[in-house]
Amino acid sequence: MATDLHTLLDRPWDILILGSGAAALSTALSALTSTSPPPSVLLLDKAPPEWAGGNGYFTAAAYRTAHPGLSGLLPIVSNVPSDLEDKIDLAPYTEDDFLGDLERVTGGRSDEKLGKAVVGASWETVKWLKEVGKVDWQLSFRRQAYEVEGRFVFWGGLCLTVPDGGKGLVKGLRERVEHLGGVIVHGVAGRELVTDAKGSVVGVKVEIVGDGERKQVQAGSVVMCAGGFEANRDLRGEWMGEGWKAAHVRGTPHNTGDMLIASRKLGAKLVGDFSGSGCHSTAWDADSPADGGDREKTNEFTKSGYPLGIMVNVKGERFVDEGVDLRNYTYAKFGRAILEQPEGVAWQIWDQQGVAYLRKEEYRDEIVRKVWADSIDELAVKLVKDGLQDSTQLTETVKKFNDCIEAFGKEKPDVQLNPSVRDGLSTQSSTKRLELAKSNWAIPIKQGPFLAVKVTSGVTFTFGGLEIDPEDAIVLNEDGSKIEGLHCAGEMVGGLFYGNYPGGSGLTAGAVFGQRAGRVAAERAART
């Protein structure tokens, strides 16, 4: 092993950050800009350099934030020319809106203090990332707006992204951190937290990946941004249920829960959703790699076009209300619904009207295997070769679906399709209704050729994690006391999400708590 690596690990650091994803980089950015002179900051990641960026690399880089509307957003975004400004409908998204969405999708179980901390700091954090992190914010026209009568209508409380998604986000933040003096080292795994006689964390025992050499890195503060346990098949089975062993891993294969286990051994309190609903999981390409994401295709294996079609299981039956809410509030839980079906797979099906709304980055020919047919009967026969067990039931499912939409149309002809809002276009009328409704965007599947895409469950990150004080992101003991010198941010934090989450709020939470952890750790270094 190179001498320079040993030199880096042998010297003391003011701040040691475990991880290299968006939360870790936000923490480092905060630490390096909070005091003068700045502290010494080392980031360690057990992943090799080619897997840098954690799960943030695999995201669409969407940040959910409270904001004052289009006029307030225009000064921080770079992709809205002046002649386009008056063609955009983008209403304010208040803190009450954000908190309401968080409470609604988590069934009221989200920790109130954590939620208020994230929401209350979201807008200032986004502006801080622009000013200090040099993040190139853009309006997310492709993912979060529909063109309606010549206007771009944004929907779902989500509007910000960066060029090239997670790849661009991680690249930009990493370059900024290194420019400010942060040191990033790969191939070194955290194994055990080190404390002094008072119980304060003063370092980490690490292992150099590949040769197994162990060393102890001394640090004034340790900030854990090492991700959850979604890439650990055995822990998923133990903590979430055996069925979760079959899920595909959407992102990095290196989030295996090592530091959660190390923290528990220290006496840190685990909180949040460790149940079978305790993760972000989406409709994911059934042909994707099972144990980790693809660094080139990243988020393109997501298959989120279901609101304009239907999803059926191997029995040919629908199993969710595809239109129960806007995609931003359902995609993170529908992966679980797919996994719970026989064989853990499903098919998304559309006619030509629905196909027109599918995003190219998710459904282009180069990225997904498609099954086409000129009739539903023909499609059913083809899907039998792909694992469908009952072609007759699929045909009957589509027929009943179409009949109920026709009845609704006769009863309420003024209700028209509008994918940017909950339009009320439903399968439920006074004369005909389905046992499992489609509550919005119910358009008939009649206009061929018809398309089917096979999906499974892709687990993104786990919801259970460590309890922190939201003001400074310090990790808490089982008795509620603070573990001095130990902070946590990103997907290791527990208690914020339960069963579901509002799209884009994970990256925001990582930035909010990362900024606080970095600032407090830098101030501790300045004092000592």
- Quick check: is 493 in a domain? yes
Q: Are residues 323 and 387 in the same domain?
A: yes
pLDDT of residue 1: 39
Q: Are residues 248 and 299 in the same domain?
A: no
74 contacts 134 by C-beta, under 8 angstroms: no
CATH number of the domain bearing residue 377:
3.90.700.10
Which residues, 6 or more positions from 226, have their beta carbon under 8 angstroms from its beta carbon? Answer: 18, 19, 190, 255, 258, 259, 490, 492
For residues 461 and 509, give the distance between their C-alpha atoms in angstroms, rounded to a whole number. 13
CB atoms within 10 A of CB 413: 8
- Quick check: is 52 in a domain? yes
Q: Is 393 helix (H, G, I), strand (E, B) or coil?
A: helix
Q: What is the CA radius of gyration of the chain?
A: 24
Q: Are residues 445 and 354 in the same domain?
A: yes
Q: Are residues 267 and 284 in the same domain?
A: no
Cα distances from 484 to residues 142, 165, 198, 431, 510, in angstroms, run 44, 35, 9, 64, 20
For residues 289 and 47, give the distance between their C-alpha atoms in angstroms, rounded to a whole number. 18
CATH number of the domain bearing residue 53:
3.50.50.60
Q: State the DSSP code for 15.
A: E
465 contacts 274 by C-beta, under 8 angstroms: no
Residue 224: beta bridge partners?
18, 488
Q: Is 149 helix (H, G, I), strand (E, B) or coil?
A: coil
Q: Are residues 371 and 411 in the same domain?
A: yes
287 contacts 342 by C-beta, under 8 angstroms: no
For residues 487 and 489, give the distance between their C-alpha atoms in angstroms, rounded to a whole number. 7
Q: Are residues 423 and 502 in the same domain?
A: no
Domain ends where: 437, 458, 479? 458
For residues 187 and 180, give the distance between their C-alpha atoms in angstroms, rounded to a whole number. 22
Q: Alpha carbon 448 to chain centroid distance? A: 34
Q: State the DSSP code for 448.
A: S
- Quick check: is 127 in a domain? no
Q: Are residues 53 and 192 in the same domain?
A: yes
Q: Write out residues in the chain with pLDDT < 50, as ranges.
A: 1-2
Which residues, 6 or more positions from 492, have their beta carbon under 8 angstroms from its beta carbon? Answer: 224, 225, 226, 227, 228, 259, 260, 465, 466
pLDDT of residue 189: 98
- The per-residue pLDDT for range 402-445, each reduced to its tens digit, is 999 999 999 999 999 999 999 999 999 999 999 999 999 999 99
Q: State the DSSP code for 292.
A: S
- Quick check: is 137 in a domain? no
Domain count, the chain: 2
pLDDT of residue 208: 97
Q: By residue range, what is the domain housing residue 444?
A: 279-458
Q: Is 377 exposed, middle or buried, given 0-12, 13-18 or 19+ CB atoms closer than 10 A?
A: middle
Closest by CA to 54, choosing from 295, 255, 263, is: 255
Closest by CA to 286, choosing from 452, 458, 450, 55, is: 458
Q: How many residues does the chain have?
A: 528
Q: Are residues 470 and 395 in the same domain?
A: no
Peptide bond into 75 cis (omega under 30): no
For residues 344 and 342, give the distance between their C-alpha atoms in angstroms, rounded to a whole number. 5
Q: Are residues 250 and 361 in the same domain?
A: no
- Quick check: is 495 in a domain? yes
3-state helix, strand, coil in the chain (%, to 5): 40, 20, 40
Q: Are residues 265 and 297 in the same domain?
A: no
Domain ends where: 436, 458, 480? 458
Domain ends where: 458, 476, 507? 458
- Quick check: is 143 in a domain? no
216 contacts 194 by C-beta, under 8 angstroms: yes
Question: What DSSP letter does each residue of 188-210 carry, written as one string?
Answer: EEEEEEEE-TTS-EEEEEEEETT
Q: Are residues 387 and 410 in the same domain?
A: yes
Residue 318: phi and psi, rounded to 5, are -70, 155
Q: Is 401 exposed, middle or buried, given 0-12, 13-18 or 19+ CB atoms closer than 10 A?
A: buried
Q: Are residues 467 and 453 in the same domain?
A: no
- Quick check: is 176 in a domain? yes
- The per-residue pLDDT for range 413-424, each reduced to its tens digit, is 999 999 999 999
155-189 b/e (C-beta count within 10 Å ≥ 16 → b): bbbbbbbbeebbbbbbbbbbebbeebebebbbbbb
- Quick check: is 49 in a domain? yes
284 contacts 250 by C-beta, under 8 angstroms: yes
pLDDT of residue 184: 98
pTM of the model: 0.95
The first and second tokens of residue 239, run together, are: 């903590």
